[in-house]
């Protein structure tokens, strides 16, 4: 790490106006530089990791971002009250809000970021395109769309984009001219809703492109340097999943063009602080400038890994009117870095977000992990789903990928679904390893998203880990016959049979325990066939030796192969981890709780009385709770309703009929 040049206006106390991993990460550098930190937190985040990472923290209240981290006025007031002299916005929330940046500056605080004007100009994609064109940066033509009009002469395929915002909102792909009008209208409506600005423009769609971005940083003395490029092509619905530096999929010529272009663009506006210039590089080598992100990026650690620089440190230096302590010539790229985003979403179920309490948070390996979560943290639905960034730096791309895959394979987040399996599959996938990673990579590789992790005998070892963990905790809980050998029988007919839910699939185990051995049958036990005789037993038999056992681990030898399985027992759910990977298994309940057994044949009269109304007839499809009849008894009108969905097969009484208690009134058969 380079030493820091003496700052002209040293920052002594920094307000970090963000949450999660980025707040933790900023605080780490600040503390190393001797800067005190003040954090903020929503009511939801009161016990979050980032609150512990700062020296002191100010409660903003609220749950949603709008109620908390977007309350710029409160944050500035808190910064002033706490004696801060600067605000670092992190990314997201207020990071690219020019008005907020202006208020920070107006309040006499240092804004750790580009100037409000730079944010304003570059934050508008249309304006930024003009700047790019003026600076000679390679880009494709764009067509601005006047409000309410539909442009013509657009070559297909094309992309309709919102001028403001990002993250794929207000964006539409158009393949034929007749789709254009709808796409423009929809994009404008979405942009208005999301960003309060309905301006949209149209640009040529580059398919099979690569997302290449250049990290730049400038100071207030007009110095702008780049810190190399990153490739972030692997995305899901415009959300980056894997980022790396340098790009393995572009030529040196392209690299020089984007690096020089990015610096030229930044210099043309006198860019101060850290920023990212994004390009799309087509399969044919076409380079298109996309936009400038006027903030620190999520994926900045890969640049830090290969350059050895601390981007937050550089940000703080230039923000406090220091000059850049490094020149372009000082910047060299060493090895290859890959970052993956571990998110609380399950790719196998369409990336459904997962929320709740993290019972165990374990990311092994000797690599950088930026996270705002730990064991015991809550994942709330109010903020984004990023759990952690795991960054691997190796001599080569292959080495970085292998080390990262190894770490993620045994990453275990208990209580929350993650995309870890998908990341492991991706890091070992041949197109990825060959750097064939256009932005359509995940669409081209559905098997990566569908990956369910460790398989075969490695998964069997995890299942057995669950079986023995469950057995261990059951025996420990037996307060009356805990002394007896597990599942002991003097007349044995079967072993201990259990059904496990393994990611939606049922796995059957039958266990007979010895003293420090066990026999396990794997697979469905024989059921009776049509004639009542048991079907052939085709289960796999495994012999297990129990080498070392505890409430949180099972060391077992399965047919001569040793495995150590770490286990977390959460009621009937057991979360297992071995060197081969992780898996969770849930013991299927032995009994189904049936609804109170309703009338077998239909509704009955509660009392002796008279039928005063009939509301159904034979052949009616009735639903549970539907009124069928009214019986007057003891001066009360009793409504007779269907106890379950069904088909009326017989109406046994008519208006005026006398009924006695318990009489079946209507026969309702299966629907």
Instruction: Give the interface with other proteins as residue ranges (CB under 8 A).
Output: 470-471, 474-475, 477-481, 483-491, 493-494, 496-498, 513, 528, 530-534, 590-594, 597, 600, 604, 662
Task: Quote the least distance from Cβ 205 to other proteins, whole Å.
Answer: 58
Cα 317 to Cα 153: distance, rounded to the nearest angstrom = 48
252 or 488: CB nearest other proteins: 488
In degrees rounded to 5, what are phi and psi of residue 453?
Answer: 90, -155
Q: If you search the block for the tokens 């810190």, which residue do you land on?
A: 227
Shortest distance, position 591 Cβ to other proteins, whole Å? 4
Residues 6+ apart with CB under 8 A from 130: none
Nearer to other proteins, 381 or 662 (CB): 662
> Exposed, middle or buried by CB within 10 Å (0-12, 13-18, 19+), for 579?
middle
Q: Specify the residue, 396 or 661, whose C-beta has the smaller distance to other proteins.
A: 661
Q: Which is nearer to other proteins, 356 or 529 (CB)?
A: 529
Q: Is the dihedral of CA 116, 118, 119, 120 positive or negative?
A: positive
Query: Shortest approach of other proteins to residue 59 CB, angstroms?
Result: 33
**What is the DSSP pairing of strand 553-558 with strand 540-550?**
antiparallel
- Closest C-alpha among 496, 450, 433 to residue 470: 496
C-alpha distances (whole Å) from 355 to each of 21, 386, 451 are 17, 11, 21
CA distances in angstroms from 39 to 24, 29, 87, 328, listed in the order given: 9, 14, 10, 33
State the minimum distance, in angstroms, from the CB of residue 590 to other proteins: 7
Q: How far is the CB of 509 from other proteins (least distance, A)?
A: 12
Using DSSP, state whether 19 is helix, strand or coil.
Answer: coil
H/E stretch holding 443 reads helix 441-444
Q: How far is the CB of 576 from other proteins (least distance, A)?
A: 18
* In the complex, least distance from residue 25 CB atom to other proteins, rounded to whole angstroms: 36
Buried b (16+ CB within 10 A) or exposed e, 414-444: bbbbbbbbbbbbbbebeebbeebbbbebbee
- CA–CA gap between residue 641 and residue 623 (Å, rounded): 9
> Hunting for tokens 């990611």 — which residue is that?
503
Token code pair at residue 606: 């509660």
Minimum CB distance to other proteins, residue 570 (Å):
17
* CB nearer to other proteins: pick between 93 and 472: 472
> Which phi and psi (to 5°) does residue 214 adopt?
-115, 130
Nearest-approach distance from CB 535 to other proteins, in angstroms: 11
Specify the residue, 267 or 475, whose C-beta has the smaller distance to other proteins.
475
> In the bound complex, what is the minimum distance in angstroms from residue 481's beta carbon to other proteins?
5
Nearer to other proteins, 597 or 654 (CB): 597
Q: What is the DSSP string of 366-405?
A: SSEEEES--TT-EE-TTS--EEEEEEEEESSHHHHHHHHH
Rg over CA atoms, the chain: 32
Our CB check for other proteins shows the closer of 196 and 600 to be: 600
Contacts 24+ apart (CB under 8 A), 648-654: 648/616, 648/617, 648/618, 648/619, 648/620, 648/622, 649/618, 650/618, 651/614, 651/616, 651/617, 651/618, 653/611, 653/614, 653/629, 654/611, 654/614
Cis amide leading into 246 (omega within 30):
yes
Of 366 and 531, which has the nearer Cβ to other proteins? 531
Nearest approach, Cβ of 567 to other proteins (angstroms)? 16
Partners of residue 611 on adjacent β-strands: 631
Nearer to other proteins, 327 or 481 (CB): 481
Between residues 430 and 493, which has the closer beta carbon with respect to other proteins? 493
* Minimum separation from the CB atom of position 311 to other proteins (A): 45
Q: Of the two residues 332 and 490, which places its CB atom closer to other proteins in the complex? A: 490
In the complex, the smallest distance separating the C-beta of residue 486 from other proteins, rounded to whole angstroms, is: 5
At 89, is the secondary structure helix, strand, or coil? coil
Which of 128, 556 has the CB closer to other proteins? 556
CA distance 671 to 669: 6
């Amino acid at each position: 790490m380079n030493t820091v040049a003496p700052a002209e206006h040293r920052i002594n106390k920094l307000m970090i106006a963000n949450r999660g991993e980025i707040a933790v990460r900023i605080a780490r550098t600040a503390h190393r530089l001797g800067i005190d930190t003040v954090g903020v937190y929503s009511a939801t985040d009161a016990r979050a990791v980032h609150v512990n990472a700062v020296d002191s923290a100010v409660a903003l209240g609220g749950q949603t971002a709008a109620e908390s981290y977007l309350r710029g006025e409160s944050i500035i007031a808190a910064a002033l009250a706490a004696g801060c002299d600067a605000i670092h916005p992190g990314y997201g929330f207020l990071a690219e809000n020019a008005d907020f940046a202006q208020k920070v500056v107006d309040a006499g605080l240092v804004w750790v970021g580009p100037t409000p004007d730079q944010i304003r100009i570059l934050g508008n994609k249309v304006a930024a395109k003009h700047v790019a064109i003026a600076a000679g940066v390679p880009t494709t033509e764009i067509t601005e769309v006047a409000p309410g009009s539909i442009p013509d002469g657009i070559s297909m395929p094309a992309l309709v984009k919102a001028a403001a915002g990002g993250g794929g909102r207000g964006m539409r792909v158009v393949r034929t001219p007749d789709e254009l009008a709808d796409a423009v209208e929809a994009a404008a409506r979405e942009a208005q809703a999301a960003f309060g600005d309905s301006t949209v423009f149209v640009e040529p769609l580059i398919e099979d492109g690569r997302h290449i971005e250049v990290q730049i940083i400038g100071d207030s003395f007009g110095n702008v340097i780049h810190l190399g490029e990153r490739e972030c092509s692997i995305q899901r619905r415009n959300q980056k999943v894997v980022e790396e530096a340098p790009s393995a999929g572009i030529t040196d010529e392209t690299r020089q063009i984007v690096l020089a272009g990015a610096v030229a663009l930044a210099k043309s506006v006198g860019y101060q602080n850290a920023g990212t210039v994004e390009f799309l590089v087509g399969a044919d080598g076409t380079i298109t400038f996309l936009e400038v992100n006027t903030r620190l990026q999520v994926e900045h650690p890969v640049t830090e890994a290969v350059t050895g620089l601390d981007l937050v440190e550089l940000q703080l230096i230039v923000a406090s009117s220091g000059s850049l302590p490094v020149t372009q010539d000082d910047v060299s790229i060493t090895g290859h870095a890959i970052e993956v985003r571990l998110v609380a979403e399950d790719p196998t179920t369409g990336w459904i977000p997962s929320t709740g309490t993290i019972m165990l948070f374990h990311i092994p390996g000797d690599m950088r992990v930026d996270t705002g979560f730990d064991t015991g943290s809550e994942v709330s639905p109010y903020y984004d789903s990023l759990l952690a960034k795991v960054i691997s730096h190796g001599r080569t791309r292959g080495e970085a990928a292998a080390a990262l895959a190894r770490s993620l394979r045994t990453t275990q987040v208990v209580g929350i679904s993650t995309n870890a399996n998908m990341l492991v599959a991706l890091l070992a996938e041949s197109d990825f390893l060959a750097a064939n990673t256009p932005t359509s990579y995940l669409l081209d590789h559905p098997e990566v998203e569908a990956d369910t992790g460790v398989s075969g005998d490695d998964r069997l070892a995890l299942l057995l880990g669950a079986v023995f963990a469950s057995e261990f905790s059951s025996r420990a809980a037996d307060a009356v016959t805990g002394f007896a050998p597990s599942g002991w029988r003097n007349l044995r007919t079967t072993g201990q049979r259990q059904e496990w839910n393994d990611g939606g699939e049922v796995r059957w185990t039958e266990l007979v325990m010895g003293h420090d051995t066990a026999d396990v049958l794997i697979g469905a036990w024989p059921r009776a066939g049509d004639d009542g005789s048991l079907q052939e037993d085709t289960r796999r038999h495994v012999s297990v030796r129990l080498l070392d056992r505890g409430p949180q681990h099972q060391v077992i030898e399965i047919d001569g192969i040793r495995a150590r399985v770490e286990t977390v027992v959460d009621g009937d759910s057991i979360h297992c981890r071995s060197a081969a990977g992780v898996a969770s298994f849930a013991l299927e309940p032995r009994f189904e709780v049936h609804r109170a057994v309703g009338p077998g044949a239909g509704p009955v009269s509660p009392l002796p009385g008279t039928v005063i109304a009939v509301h159904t007839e034979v052949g009616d499809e009735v639903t549970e709770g539907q009124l069928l009849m009214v019986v007057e008894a003891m001066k009360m009108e009793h409504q007779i309703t269907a106890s379950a969905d069904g088909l009326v097969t017989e109406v046994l009484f008519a208006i005026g009929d006398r009924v006695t208690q318990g009489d079946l009134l209507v026969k309702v058969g299966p629907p």
